[in-house]
Chain A
């Protein structure tokens, strides 16, 4: 769970220091206080969300919205569940084992779906050029062109000169 979440945050562009998972038993009040104090200090140092990351409000919102869509998509849920089942079957709960499996099974899916949501979202606001798309999503040309092509195959977008725009419904 934590590993998958970290990968998503990484791809969204949020610093991993903002998310911490820790343990304190019911009898460990001093430890609990230490955890909370440390974490609060760390966040204070980082500043408001987006500042330490160098992301603008708008971009951050776009990316988080994509992440939000991703985590509720059935394709992601299914992959996530299957991975959990596989881990149980293999019985390998070492951090390295989990990390490599998440990398293999989840990360490509996360990347693709995030980018697709972002592109769709940007296009729904009106025509955009490839350069603007690249700049806002932070993706490379190779990642983005297949998505645009598949969208245009489905008849959802069309290319006009340098800009892509949503296809008018007939």
Chain B
């Protein structure tokens, strides 16, 4: 399939970001379409971030707490 989606992810420093880290250490394979933004807590995220993400051309937004 030719389409390569752009996915913007907001990850909490303490949960998903650490999970991503350990997934890397354990050499799990996962798709490389994510652009990760680390936030100190998922509570930091505002509706505005999500709208802005779509506005600048993300095809999907994933919030990981």
Contacts and interface: CB of A to CB of B under 8 A. Distances in A.
A64 B60 contact: no
* Size category, B interface: 35 or more
A127 B23 CA distance: 55
A19 B41 CA distance: 18
Interface string B1-22: 1010101010000111011101
Contact of B19 (A8, A25, A64): A25
Tell me whether chain A's interface is mostly helix, strand or loop, or mixed.
helix
A1 B47 CA distance: 6
A47 B22 CA distance: 30
Nearest to A44: B5
Interface residues of A, number: 43
Contacts of B54: 9, 12, 14, 18, 49, 64
A1 B51 contact: no
Interface in A11-65: 12, 14, 18-33, 35-37, 39-40, 42-44, 46-49, 64-65
A-B pairs with the 7 shortest C-beta distances?
A26-B18, A32-B19, A29-B23, A43-B60, A71-B48, A40-B31, A21-B63
